[in-house]
Amino acid sequence: MRTSLLRLLTGTVALTGMATLAQAADLPSRYSPAPVYSAAPVFTWTGFYVGANAGYGWNTGTSRYYDPAFGYVGGGKSGGFVGGGQLGYNYQFGMFVLGAETDIQYAAVGNKGASYGRIYFPGQSDGFFGTIRARAGVAFDRALVYGTGGFAYGDIGGNAAVDPLLGYRRDDNTNGGWTVGGGVEYAVTNNISAKVEGLYVNLDTRSNYVGGTAGSVRRDTEFGVLRAGVNYKFN
């Protein structure tokens, strides 16, 4: 009798335990769900951009003019403000960035004065130039170090002279040439970047007057530019 009662109690306890475990299994979990991982977007230089720049330019070439006593001799040099706008496109693959950029600039770097003998006739130093360039660089996350080069054009200076018959003459001629340079650009935000850039520009300027005739005399228009700028990159 005692043995049967013990077996009955043991079985009851076992059934109760199993029922409790089954109910616990049906209850919702008390553990927090696994966190959802969302990777931060990686910055890329790829995209179209537009911007503005300003800086200083200085004439490195020699403006030549005709002197009846000494022949073709050198004139003066000058420098001044440079500023304008640019637009372009970059494409990034890995650490490397390739792109193209065009810009148009006001430039007070020319020597548009004229000389005759020992007399100098001041002219206007302001002019303009533009470039169409390729860019290639290496990106270190938001920093970009690049080189650039391509076609240049403009009316900067070195295209004025004094004609012995007609007096002071000045032409407005747009001349072609080339440019090369480099710079550093940093993305302040995903859309706005700031840069510092240096360029060397060489325009093939030819204009001189002797005896009423425009002569094809080389009047070098070579100048350097150091400028800072900002760009806005479209998403």
Whether the pLDDT of residue 124 is over 90: the answer is no
Q: What is the pLDDT at residue 222?
A: 83
Separation of first and last alpha carbons in the chain: 87
Q: What is the pLDDT at residue 105?
A: 96
Percent of the chain with pLDDT over 90: 43
Retrieve residue 57's tokens. 């330019």
Q: What is the pLDDT at residue 74?
A: 55
Write the DSSP symbol of residue 188: S
33 CB neighbour count, 10 Å cutoff: 6
CA–CA distance, 12 with 16 (Å, rounded to integer): 6
Whether the pLDDT of residue 232 is over 60: the answer is yes
Q: What is the pLDDT at residue 40?
A: 59
- Hey, what CATH class is 47-233 in? mainly beta
Q: How confident is the model at residue 127 (pLDDT cuts 50, 70, 90)?
A: confident
Note the pLDDT tens digit of each residue in 151-191: 999 887 655 555 555 555 555 678 889 999 999 999 999 99
- Per the CB < 8 A criterion, the answer to whether 144 and 137 are in contact is yes
Average pLDDT value over all residues in the chain = 76
Whether the pLDDT of residue 208 is over 70: the answer is no
Q: Does pTM top 0.75 for this prediction?
A: no
Q: What is the pLDDT at residue 8?
A: 46
Q: What is the pLDDT at residue 9?
A: 45
Note the pLDDT tens digit of each residue in 45-79: 999 999 999 999 987 765 555 455 555 555 555 67
Spell out the domain ranges in the chain.
47-233
Write the DSSP symbol of residue 59: E
Q: How confident is the model at residue 204 (pLDDT cuts 50, 70, 90)?
A: confident
DSSP 128-164: EEEEEEEEEEEEETTEEEEEEEEEEEEE-S--EEEET
Alpha helices in the chain (DSSP H): 2-26
